[in-house]
Structure 1
Amino acid sequence: MSTTQSDRLRGLLEPLVGAEGLDLEDVELSKAGRYRVLRVVVDSDEGVDLDTVAELTRAISARLDEADPLGDEQYQLEVTSPGAERPLNEQRHYVRAVGRLARIKLHEGGELVARILSVDDTGLDVEVPGVKGRRATARRLEFSQVAKARVEVEFNRKDKSTEEA
């Protein structure tokens, strides 16, 4: 999708998404056979529920019909959240992932899987789990050190209410 088309769609959709109290994370337009797929990725600090996605999908569909930014092209609209293994690209993404495990690739090379403990304007504090009976270690990472980061799925994650008890 061209930058101009992406910017135009973003400008068209951002007010609708913001009105629902959500952040517009991404707008992707891709080919799927004869059709195109317009994927709109939204999120918030509290997450996104299905009712909100349904309401937003109707509002976006109506706005796209009205503005007709894709012309006569046939497309399928998908409104979604970033998913379980969401990428961490902005400071707000890290804030939303506090308490979660993340796979972090560093610019200097190397990769670590660590639990995000806290986040501020310049970076994050993480806890790297110990291996083979060793203790976990705390580490400070500046955002400038992080090349790429993604939330890791935990099947045996402790519930916060269990940890506080």
Structure 2
Amino acid sequence: MPMPTEERVSQLVAELVERRGFDLEGVAISAAGTAHSKVTVTVDSDGTADLDTVAELSTEISQALDDAGDFGETPYLLEITTPGIDRPLTELRHWQRAQGRKVKIVLRPGAESPEEKGKTTFEARVGVATDSEIALVLGGKRKPHRVTVPRADIQSAVVQVEFNPPGAAELELAGGVAPGRPQPGAQEVSDTEIENEAAASDSPTEGIVE
């Protein structure tokens, strides 16, 4: 029996994800050994993901997939995860949730650079984001200053791992950290910890649930 498409699984789980207060960021289906498939559902929210809620969502999604019967007798491994630190910022909600974080920016060809040296690839701290533009803080701790860049001028942006907290003036210019999000440089719960905790809370169904 052919596997369901990622689009089909997205349709099956989207309402459950939304009901739990999450945004569905993606569904991936891949082979997990020779005996079964792996279904990865990536979710995100404005605040820190609650492990109990993630576990409950995992159980609900597993039941929904079993009830739909799209996998037939083929066992599957279900994994509920949150976006990794290297997830590109593409939607407005991604930018808003990254407020206060350092990102690596790549401008589109021909876009005017806000950098003094005219660099089209640079690091900046994310400020307030709107549909049309992004406020960025340049200069780091030494010479922090805020600029505004059209969203259309940004080709890609990826949050960077920070081991030290930003300067107070730098963070103030960014408008602080998005509510419910950890402070930059603070120890964060990893995706693996979230996945493992959810797995421990799940009960087996016809599929193999991780």
Distance 2:28 2:165 in 1: 31
Note closer, same or farther for the CA distance 1:58–1:130 as it changes in structure 2 (3 Å cut): closer
Q: Which residue of 2 aligns with 1:41?
A: 42
Distance 2:153 2:32 in 1: 36
Structure 1 residue 90 corresponds to structure 2 residue 100: no
Q: How much does 1:130 deviate?
A: 4.6
Q: How much does 1:137 deviate?
A: 3.6
Distance 2:70 2:48 in 1: 28
Moved over 6 A (4+): none
Structure 1 residue 16 corresponds to structure 2 residue 24: no
Note closer, same or farther for the CA distance 1:13–1:154 as it changes in structure 2 (3 Å cut): same
Structure 1 residue 5 corresponds to structure 2 residue 5: yes
- Residues matched between the structures, number: 157
Structure 1 residue 128 corresponds to structure 2 residue 128: no
Note closer, same or farther for the CA distance 1:73–1:144 as it changes in structure 2 (3 Å cut): farther
Unmatched 5+ residue regions in structure 2?
Answer: 111-119, 173-210
Equivalences for residues 117-156 of structure 1 within 5 A: 117-130=127-140, 135-156=143-164
Structure 1 residue 26 corresponds to structure 2 residue 26: yes
Note closer, same or farther for the CA distance 1:130–1:45 as it changes in structure 2 (3 Å cut): closer
Distance 2:87 2:8 in 1: 25
TM-score, scaled relative to structure 1: 0.84
Q: How much does 1:158 deviate?
A: 4.8
Local SS of the residue matching 1:116: strand
Note closer, same or farther for the CA distance 1:145–1:71 as it changes in structure 2 (3 Å cut): farther
TM-score, scaled relative to structure 2: 0.67
Q: How much does 1:154 deviate?
A: 1.1
Note closer, same or farther for the CA distance 1:158–1:137 as it changes in structure 2 (3 Å cut): closer
RMSD: 2.4
Distance 2:161 2:105 in 1: 14
Q: Which has the larger radius of gyration?
A: 2
Q: How much does 1:126 deviate?
A: 0.2
Q: How much does 1:114 deviate?
A: 0.6
Unmatched 5+ residue regions in structure 1?
Answer: none
